[in-house]
């Protein structure tokens, strides 16, 4: 028991205690509550994992709730994208709920507050209301409308809801405490007039509820036992509880608990900011492979397993911290190593000709994935004319250079041992072709004495006449600053890396010819690459997902 509770996160510990003290296990219920004003990002993976894992652990339902109270920012396309991303992560929700489905109930409860003299219509401008709020150390000023009669409030609020009054003419405020040390308790606005159509309720409503009023009451309607939110909502908890006490409740009264948001270095995680990157064309869309959105990460080649492993490793904490981007990449590499088939590709080619090779071609064998020997072997075409990486040849090499040079031997992966003989240059002095000889008895896996000879380097290669030419997108970080949105003087957009995408061509062995978008490969010695959604049968496009090693730290 001791051991077990140690491995629980603090929220699980709270819930375990609640099961003993105040709530039946079968009445536990959780929710994941995105606002449909953008695509989900890596931070949401943490919140979704947290809630859905609790659902699994306690065998309790988890609702997907769209917190849709700002019609000017919300769209049905975001609802659809959010559902798609959660399904891709492997999560299934119990009910699909919308705060907008509760607009009528929320309206009725607002009238209830008015009739109990717990809410009033304020007809001052938002500026004046803000000025009267005071500061944490200076108490606020009571609005002259605070003493309006219940009857007048009731009538005015109904008129507001019907569009009798223009935007900004009135708001409905909870009547709480203008001297509270918690500024959020100083008669917060709970409704504003908004003459905007809503993606689900159309033009029915001319008033829309504010987040604080909506969230807790929605939790209550859905009978959510534990409402988990990020730390910035901690000061809102007093208000959350006030609103739940204000309405007539029986059944379960939800409890709010806060956890630390996920912050990732070199990344912004705010839908508003991500939307800016999209709207101002810094990226090609919400699913640009450089974006920290779930759809961007998916297109880049991230797997649900790697994202969940990342969130698990980062942990659920009570205090904010920044997680290194390299941890995310570590989790990705770790998973791709297990699942990605190996192939050879050459990104920066130079011709290699084997002068004593006289066959027209032959087919060699290479392991599909050494982590999974059961998968067996693939056939790799070999011939007299190959491509190797330009960086793998040097005419004069230092002692530490274990790749190809004149007079030295290296192995061609899954093939033969070769020896550098000579090379040619063009008139600009660039090397255009390297010539070598091969040891015909040294074929990998043939069992011969020559095949067992040890040489220092092994190079990847492709056969010129068999290789497919592909387009490759190579990405660098989208921001060149570790915390782009934490600069006082500067905007996060000032830190966008202008060189975050490089498009190049490469040659790859032919076994990938019918690879479909989303499929992932390890290009040996280069990294993991996946097929982009724009890829077509004869026009293959790959994204570099991540290198084999962490190169950033250097």
Q: Which residues bind ligand ATP (CB under 6 A)?
A: 33-35, 43-44, 46-47, 67, 229-230, 261-262, 269-271
Q: How many residues bind Mg ion (CB under 5 A)?
A: 1
Q: Look up residue 162 and give its two tokens.
A: 């019907």
What residues have CB less than 8 Å from 34, skipping those under 6 apart?
40, 44, 64, 65, 66, 67, 82
Query: Residue 46 binds which entry of Mg ion, ligand ATP, none, with Cβ cut-offs from 5 to 8 Å by kind?
Result: ligand ATP
Determine the Cα–Cα distance for residues 326 and 482; give it in Å rounded to an integer: 12
| H or E segment to which residue 55 belongs | helix 42-57
Shortest distance in whole angstroms from residue 74 CB to ligand ATP: 10
Phi-psi region of 290 (alpha: psi -120 to 50; beta: other; left: phi over 0): alpha
Whole-angstrom CA distances from 95 to 29, 63, 65 are 11, 5, 8
Shortest distance in whole angstroms from residue 247 CB to ligand ATP: 22
- For residue 296, give the nearest of 44, 52, 71 by alpha carbon: 44
| H or E segment to which residue 364 belongs | strand 362-367
What residues have CB less than 8 Å from 238, skipping those under 6 apart?
182, 184, 185
Query: Residue 25 binds which entry of Mg ion, ligand ATP, none, with Cβ cut-offs from 5 to 8 Å by kind?
Result: none
Shortest distance in whole angstroms from residue 193 CB to Mg ion: 21
Q: Which is nearer to ligand ATP, 74 or 509 (CB)?
A: 74
Annotated catalytic residue within 192, 261, 275, 408: 261
Shortest distance in whole angstroms from residue 349 CB to ligand ATP: 42
Shortest distance in whole angstroms from residue 30 CB to ligand ATP: 11
Evaluated on CA atoms 297, 301, 304, 308, the torsion sign reads: negative
Query: Residue 44 binds which entry of ligand ATP, Mg ion, none, with Cβ cut-offs from 5 to 8 Å by kind?
Result: ligand ATP
Q: Which is nearer to ligand ATP, 49 or 472 (CB)?
A: 49
- 261 carries an active-site annotation: yes
Shortest distance in whole angstroms from residue 316 CB to Mg ion: 20
What residues have CB less than 8 Å from 437, skipping those under 6 apart?
354, 355, 356, 418, 419, 421
Shortest distance in whole angstroms from residue 43 CB to ligand ATP: 2
Query: Residue 43 binds which entry of ligand ATP, Mg ion, none, with Cβ cut-offs from 5 to 8 Å by kind?
Result: ligand ATP
Q: Which is nearer to ligand ATP, 97 or 262 (CB)?
A: 262
Q: Which is nearer to ligand ATP, 34 or 304 (CB)?
A: 34
* Dihedral angle, C-alpha 31, 34, 35, 39, nearest 10 °: -160
Q: Which is nearer to ligand ATP, 292 or 420 (CB)?
A: 292
- 308 carries an active-site annotation: no
* Chain position whose Cβ is nearest to ligand ATP: 43
Q: Which is nearer to ligand ATP, 206 or 271 (CB)?
A: 271
Instruction: Give 533-546 as a 3 state SS string.
Output: CCCECCECEEEEEE
Annotated catalytic residue within 271, 290, 298, 308: 271
Annotated catalytic residue within 35, 74, 217, 409: 35
Decide: 442 and 417 in contact? Cβ < 8 Å: yes
Determine the Cα–Cα distance for residues 420 and 430; give it in Å rounded to an integer: 17
* Dihedral angle, C-alpha 340, 345, 346, 347, nearest 10 °: -50
Shortest distance in whole angstroms from residue 35 CB to Mg ion: 5
Query: Residue 304 binds which entry of ligand ATP, Mg ion, none, with Cβ cut-offs from 5 to 8 Å by kind?
Result: none
Determine the Cα–Cα distance for residues 290 and 279; give it in Å rounded to an integer: 15
Per-residue x/- track, 23-42, Mg ion (CB under 5 A)? ------------x-------
DSSP codes joined into one string, 63-127: EEEE----TTT--HHHHHHHHHHHHHHT---S-EEEGGGGHHHHHHHHHHHHHTTSEEEE-S-HH
Q: Look up residue 149 and give its two tokens.
A: 């009669």
Q: Which is nearer to ligand ATP, 233 or 423 (CB)?
A: 233
Q: Look up residue 49 and give its two tokens.
A: 């994992």
Whole-angstrom CA distances from 333 to 297, 307, 339, 528, 553 are 13, 11, 10, 8, 16
Determine the Cα–Cα distance for residues 442 and 416; give it in Å rounded to an integer: 5
Q: Which is nearer to Mg ion, 35 or 219 (CB)?
A: 35
Query: Residue 532 binds which entry of ligand ATP, Mg ion, none, with Cβ cut-offs from 5 to 8 Å by kind?
Result: none
Q: Which is nearer to Mg ion, 69 or 306 (CB)?
A: 69
Shortest distance in whole angstroms from residue 46 CB to Mg ion: 15
Task: Report, as residue numbers or ranges, the catalytic residues.
Answer: 35, 261, 271
Q: Which residues of the chain form contacts with Mg ion (CB under 5 A)?
A: 35
């Amino acid at each position: 028991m001791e051991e077990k509770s140690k491995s629980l996160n603090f929220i699980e510990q709270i819930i375990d205690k609640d099961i003993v003290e105040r709530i039946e296990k079968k009445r536990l219920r959780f929710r994941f509550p995105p606002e449909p004003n953008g695509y989900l990002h890596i931070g949401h993976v943490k919140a979704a994992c947290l809630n859905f894992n609790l659902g699994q652990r306690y065998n309790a339902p988890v609702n997907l709730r769209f917190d849709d109270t700002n019609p000017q920012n919300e769209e049905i396309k975001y609802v659809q994208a959010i559902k798609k991303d959660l399904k891709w992560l492997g999560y299934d929700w119990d009910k699909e709920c919308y705060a907008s489905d509760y607009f009528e109930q929320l309206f009725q409860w607002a009238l209830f507050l008015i009739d109990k003299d717990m809410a009033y219509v304020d007809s001052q401008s938002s500026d004046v209301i803000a000025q009267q709020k005071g500061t944490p150390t200076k108490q606020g000023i009571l609005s002259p409308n605070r003493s309006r009669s219940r009857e007048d409030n009731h009538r005015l609020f109904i008129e507001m809801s019907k569009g009798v009054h223009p935007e900004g003419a009135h708001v409905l405020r909870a009547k709480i405490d203008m001297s509270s040390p918690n500024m959020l308790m100083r008669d917060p606005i709970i409704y504003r007039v908004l003459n905007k159509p809503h993606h689900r309720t159309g033009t029915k409503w001319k008033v829309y509820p504010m987040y604080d009023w909506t969230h807790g009451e929605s939790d209550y309607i859905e009978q959510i036992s534990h409402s988990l939110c990020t730390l910035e909502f901690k000061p809102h908890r007093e208000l959350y509880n006030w609103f739940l006490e204000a309405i007539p409740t029986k059944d379960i009264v939800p409890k709010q608990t806060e956890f630390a948001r996920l912050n990732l270095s070199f990344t912004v995680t705010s839908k508003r900011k991500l939307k800016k990157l999209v709207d101002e064309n810094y990226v090609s869309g919400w699913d640009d492979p450089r974006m920290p959105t779930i759809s961007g990460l998916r297109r880049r080649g991230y797997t649900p397993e790697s994202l969940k492993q990342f969130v698990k490793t980062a942990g659920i904490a009570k205090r904010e911290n920044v997680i290194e981007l390299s941890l995310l990449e570590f989790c990705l590499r770790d998973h791709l190593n297990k699942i990605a088939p190996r192939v050879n590709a050459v990104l920066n080619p130079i011709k290699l000709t084997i002068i004593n090779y006289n066959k027209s071609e032959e087919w060699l064998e290479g392991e599909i994935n050494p982590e999974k020997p059961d998968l067996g072997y693939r056939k790799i075409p070999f011939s007299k004319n190959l491509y190797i990486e330009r960086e793998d040849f040097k005419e004069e090499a230092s002692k530490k250079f274990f790749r190809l040079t004149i007079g030295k031997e290296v192995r061609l992966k899954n093939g033969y041992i070769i020896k550098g003989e000579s090379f040619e240059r063009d008139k600009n002095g660039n090397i255009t072709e390297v010539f070598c000889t091969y040891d015909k008895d040294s074929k990998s896996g043939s069992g011969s004495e020559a095949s067992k000879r040890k040489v220092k380097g092994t190079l990847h290669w492709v056969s010129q006449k068999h290789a497919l030419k592909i387009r490759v997108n190579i990405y660098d970080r989208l921001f060149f600053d570790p915390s782009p949105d934490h600069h006082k003087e500067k905007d996060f957009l000032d830190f966008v890396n202008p060189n975050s995408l490089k498009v190049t061509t490469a040659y790859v062995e032919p076994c990938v010819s019918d690879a479909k978008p989303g499929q992932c490969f390890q290009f040996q010695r280069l990294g993991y690459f996946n097929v982009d959604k724009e890829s077509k049968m004869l026009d293959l496009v790959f994204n570099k997902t991540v290198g084999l090693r962490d190169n950033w730290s250097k």
